[in-house]
Amino acid sequence: MALVDLWFVLIAVLWTGYLCLEGFDFGVAMVLPVVARDDTDRAVALGTIGPVWDGNEVWLLVAGGATFAAFPEWYASMFSGFYLALLLLLVALILRGIALEYRHREPAWAAVLDRVLTGSSLAAALLVGVALANVVHGIPLDADHEFTGTLLTLLHPYALLGGVTTVLVFALHGAVFLALKTDGPVRERSRSVAVTAGMLAVPAGGVFLVWTLLGGAPVWVLAPVVVAAVGLVGATAAVARGREGWSFTATTVAIVAVAVTLFGSLYPDVLPSTTDPAYSLTVTNAASTPYTLTVMTWVAGIVTPVVLAYQAWTFWVFRRRLTRADVGAGH
């Protein structure tokens, strides 16, 4: 495998890790108003993601950094074309972080910050889905790989469906995670919310994936599409029966399969041009020099196991279910 192909795969893996891990963070925050009836319930729900949410964001930062270093043309065209959308995403992520960190320090503002947390998480999930759908669909690029559209250019039906699908799948993923990591009333409500979210996510995801296939995806992409569909249906059925562990595994597999579908449909392009296919960015014309890619490969080989080890350790330490008794009325 050439280094450019290797780094395309690595960036796809980083995005997949971000979608799987940050996906349940977003989902927990989105379903918070439904699953938590009082401040103790909210403390239980947010306690499940409190130790891990900032570590999960590392995957997005590394994905962005790897894209900048390995495919600078891709990074430049994407960030210039998606400038306003990515700015809104950044604002949403900042507001989410503020809400998570300050709600317990400023009790008088806790109710407002909880609404900010839910709204910013929903907005971030929507924007991530719209951005990824646009990357797969393509954007108007000229011969110099400059974006020639506007913000409205990015808001076409396929991209909007991608955003809605991401929101619904993350809501399912987060509700299942809550059901897996809590006990008592929060667990029961989370299971109910997960079933509802699953019933909405299955048809939305099905239409989105079929639309992706019809857009010119290679034949082999049909396999992960089937896996994603089975995963979403299986997750909904499992959580309805109280099998949260199997359900969370199924949602994770479904998200991985969706990522494989999207990046598999994209390759060998990294950013297709809807103006003229000749203007598209590919793994070849968007890549850094072989020397840069070689150095990056050695660095990634050393650092990646460390990152995986500390994240695995974090999840292991905080593996126990949370209950109202754990946080107490005064938490």
* Residue 152 domain-assigned (yes or no): yes
For residue 107, the model assigns a pLDDT of 75
pLDDT for 104: 77
What pTM did the predictor assign? 0.93
Domain count, the chain: 1
pLDDT of 331 over the 50 cut? no
- Tell me whether residue 330 is in a domain: no
- Residue range of the domain that includes 296: 3-323
What pLDDT digit, counting tens, does each position of 241-279 carry?
A: 989 999 999 999 999 999 999 999 999 999 999 998 999
- β-strand partners of 141: 147
| pLDDT higher than threshold 90 for residue 295 | yes
| Residues 226-248, mean pLDDT to the nearest whole number | 95
State pLDDT tens for residues 77-97.
988 888 888 899 999 999 999
Counting Cβ atoms within 10 Å, is residue 276 exposed (0-12), middle (13-18) or buried (19+)? exposed
Residue 328 lies inside a defined structural domain of this protein: no
| 329 falls within a domain | no
Banded model confidence at residue 330, pLDDT cuts 50, 70, 90: very low
In angstroms, how far apart are the furthest CA atoms of the chain? Answer: 63
Q: What percent of the chain has pLDDT over 90?
A: 69
CB 271 within 8 Å of CB 139: yes
Containing 325, the helix (H) or strand (E) segment is: helix 324-327
Is residue 284 very low, low, confident or very high in pLDDT (cuts 50, 70, 90)? very high
Structure tokens at 205: 């995801």
Residue 188 reports pLDDT greater than 90: yes
Using the Cα atoms of residue 8, residue 11, residue 17 and residue 22 in order, give the sign of their dihedral: negative
Residue 269's SS3 state is: strand
Which sign, positive or negative, has the C-alpha torsion 161, 167, 170, 175? negative
Average pLDDT, the chain: 91
The mean pLDDT of 294-302, rounded to a whole number, is 91
pLDDT of residue 329: 47
Average pLDDT over residues 271-296: 92
